[in-house]
């Protein structure tokens, strides 16, 4: 069973207790980043309240998350296309190998039919 960690963070003087299975150090790092973002917004001189700063921070994080998801979906699509291309190339290579083997057999038969000594013991 996973342990639930209770971590105290502070954002612009407001204290929060976060319950999470994630590492305490990680949660504190997240809290410090949010605190930094909120402070930056509130110190920007635009007369922003704490709730507005939290909301703007949440919107910024959600936007970054959504953009990351779009990028990940795009990368998954590219990887799938590359895998399909590689699969087609592998099939084409196998077909080419079979064709080469068939042509070698035909060449050997043709040499034998002409009495070519190379056709009898070909070491290609």
Task: Work out the mean pLDDT of the chain and round it to a whole number.
Answer: 92
24-42 vs 50-113: helix axis angle to the nearest 10? 120
**100-122 tens-digit pLDDT:** 999 999 999 999 999 866 655 54
**48-82 tens-digit pLDDT:** 999 999 999 999 999 999 999 999 999 999 999 99
Give the integer Cα–Cα distance in Å for 57 and 63. 10
Give the integer Cα–Cα distance in Å for 68 and 24. 25
Question: Within 13 Å of residue 33, how many CA atoms lie on the same side as its CB?
Answer: 10
DSSP symbol at 44: T
Q: Tell me what pLDDT residue 118 has.
A: 62
Cβ atoms 7, 28 nearer than 8 A? yes
Give the integer Cα–Cα distance in Å for 82 and 10. 46
């Amino acid at each position: 069973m996973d342990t639930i960690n209770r971590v105290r963070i502070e954002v612009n003087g407001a204290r929060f207790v976060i319950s999470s299975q994630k590492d305490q150090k990680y949660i504190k790092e997240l809290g410090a980043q949010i605190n930094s973002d909120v402070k930056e917004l509130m110190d920007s001189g635009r007369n922003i309240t704490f709730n507005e700063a939290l909301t703007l921070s949440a919107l910024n994080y959600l936007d970054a998350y959504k953009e990351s998801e779009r990028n990940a979906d795009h990368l998954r699509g590219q990887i799938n296309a590359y895998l399909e291309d590689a699969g087609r190339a592998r099939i084409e290579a196998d077909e080419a190998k079979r064709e080469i083997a068939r042509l070698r057999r035909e060449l050997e038969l043709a040499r034998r039919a002409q009495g070519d000594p190379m056709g009898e013991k070909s070491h290609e």
